[in-house]
Structure 1
Amino acid sequence: MTRTIRHDEAHQRFEWTEEGHRCVLDYVLADGVAAFTHTGVPRPVEGRGIAADLVRAGLDTARARGWRVDPVCSYVAAFMRRHPEYQDLLD
């Protein structure tokens, strides 16, 4: 399944709605560093790869915009460890 993740820049969030449940990846951008602070996928829609898609969208956006990444959220940190193609973004 291909998801088109929405980037809500005003709220510094990537989001996707699955079966009425809002799933998010929150970040704080300062001095060219995106600190990814929280990944949230409600329990009824867990296990569908939504969190991974949110993080991938966030990291791809960071790369495209020249941001460095601080993976404050433990899920983002684990994702980056499992996907070495994103290691160059680490701040």
Structure 2
Amino acid sequence: MTSEPQVVNNEAERRYELRSGDEVLGFAEYRPAGEALMFSHTEIDPAHEGKGFGSRLVRGALDDVRAQGRGVVPMCPFVASFIREHREYVDLVPPGQRGVVGL
């Protein structure tokens, strides 16, 4: 039996991972950018696409970033699109970056 997928910050790899037990279903790579994290790439294992895991991963990552009191620079098109569709996360993007990603 597989466990419910969980979002984990793998700081050593500089990425948030969506994990089910020991299996990585997908990840969102980031790098520090001052007081923010710049998200550069998000990927879901092709065997798990179409199940809403990308949104679950990004939501969990953004919630964790918020809990840390940090901001987000969404250079990854998927993360930027997620934030455009879920306006409750726009405040995480520094005002000077919002126009760059269409917010």
With the shorter chain as reference, the TM-score category is 0.7 to 0.9
Partner Cα separation in structure 2 for residue 88 and residue 44 of structure 1:
33
Structure 2 unaligned blocks of 5 or more: 95-103
For the structure 1 residues 42 and 63, does the alpha-carbon distance in structure 2 shift closer, same or farther, using more than 3 Å as the test? same
> Where do 4+ consecutive residues of structure 1 move more than 2 Å?
none
The offset of 1:21, in angstroms, is: 5.5
Aligned pair count reads 91
The offset of 1:76, in angstroms, is: 0.3
Q: Which has the higher contact order (CA 8 A, sep 6+)?
A: 1
Aligned CA RMSD, in angstroms, stands at: 2.0
TM-score by length of structure 1 reads: 0.88
Maintained 8 Å contact 1:21/1:45? no
Q: Is 1:70–2:73 an aligned residue pair? A: yes
- For the pair shown, the structure with the greater C-alpha radius of gyration is 2
Percent sequence identity over aligned pairs: 36
Alignment of 1:18-33 (within 5 A): 20=23, 22-33=25-36
For the structure 1 residues 22 and 30, does the alpha-carbon distance in structure 2 shift closer, same or farther, using more than 3 Å as the test? same
Partner Cα separation in structure 2 for residue 73 and residue 30 of structure 1:
14
TM-score by length of structure 2 reads: 0.78
> Residue type of the partner of 1:83?
H
Structure 1 unaligned blocks of 5 or more: none
SS at match of 1:16: strand
